[in-house]
Amino acid sequence: MRVFFALMITVFSLVAAPAQTQERWPQRTVTLVVPFSAGGSTDLIARILAQHMQTGLGTSVVVENRAGAGGSIGTGYVAKAPGDGYTLLVGTVSSNAINAFLYSKLPFDVARDLQPVSLLATLPNLLFINPKIPANTVAELVAYLKANEGKVSFGSSGNGTSSHLSSVMFQLATGTTMTHVPFRSTNEVMNSIIGGHIDLAIDSMTTAWPQAKAGSVRALAVTTPRRSNAAPDLPTIGETVGGFEATAWQGMFAPAGTPAPIVEKVASELKRILGLPEVVSALRDLGAEPAPNTPAQFEEFTRSERAKWQAIVQASGARID
């Protein structure tokens, strides 16, 4: 009988321990992994979140940049991390929707190895051109492209990036053909357009909009389904090209197997933070719009995003081995 009770106590302790751990979470530092270099929009958003999460969770929250392979190095790191809530990923449309179809040999599966927690923010890309191009609207640009088939060049921040694939999507939607010139960053794209070396780009509004306001480039439209709060007078591409949408986004992910109570707690904390007036203002200064949702809603969103971008990657022919 004593042996029986000893076994029962052991079993009970093993079952109860994970639940107690979940109830006590967090008890140590939480790390937000950003799969890109410091200074970009994803890094800036992560640091805003970390600052406020420390207050809400009552523990230290740090940002760790693990850049490389278009976001795949940092994403893979979190995919293989323990599912205990202490390592989280601030992922993007590139790292968590595009790369799965762009890279042929990823050592992880974003759908299998990562648990969606919440969408964080959506960001428009900006369609902008060298001012020498005789177009002031999307319709005028499409007419110009058709009259100069294959002669107009567009830049991107690299093969397979959202800026490259957004331009591919634009060509497919308008029946036009351009010449792709890949660069290593949005800043290089911008400098090349300003210098007159390439003609146009669809790239980060965070970087491009200040140059457009300064008159260095001409902004024609944003890629989101709604106009941007940062530039309410600027139309969307979809207002001319029906159904066009290429929204950049950031979202929070946890390793697969992270207990549901921890995932829900993080999602609830993110919703609180993204509703704070000072956070809303800070994100909108970056051209981003807060967009928190539930883990279930975010999982459905990422599933649909992967399906959409898979088709665009295939159409582009882009592949990285």
**Each residue's pLDDT tens digit, 177-193:** 999 998 877 888 999 99
Contact 231, 224 (CB under 8 A): no
- Residues found in the chain: 321
Looking at the whole model, is its pTM more than 0.95? Answer: no
pLDDT, tens digit, 9 for 90 and up, residues 106-147: 999 999 999 999 999 998 899 999 999 999 999 999 999 999
pLDDT of residue 16: 46
Domain spans, the chain: 23-122+248-316, 124-239
pLDDT, tens digit, 9 for 90 and up, residues 212-266: 999 999 999 999 999 988 889 999 999 999 999 998 899 999 999 999 999 999 9
Cα–Cα nearest to 68, from 114, 33, 44, 101:
33
In the CATH scheme, what architecture does the domain 124-239 have? Answer: 3-Layer(aba) Sandwich (3.40)
Strand-pair category, 247-255 with 114-129: antiparallel
In the three-class reduction of DSSP (H, G, I as helix; E, B as strand; rest coil), residue 58 is classed as coil
State which H helix or E strand residue 258 sits in. Answer: none
Q: Report the alpha-carbon distance of residue 239 to residue 127 in Å, rounded.
A: 13
Q: Report the alpha-carbon distance of residue 208 to residue 44 in Å, rounded.
A: 17
In the CATH scheme, what architecture does the domain 23-122+248-316 have? Answer: 3-Layer(aba) Sandwich (3.40)
CA dihedral 208, 214, 216, 221 (to 10 degrees): 50
Which tokens sit at 302? Answer: 């990422």
pLDDT tier, 163 (very low <50, low <70, confident <90, very high otherwise): confident
What is the 3-state secondary structure of 13-30? HHHHHHHHHHHHCCCCCE
Question: Same CATH fold, 124-239 and 23-122+248-316?
Answer: yes
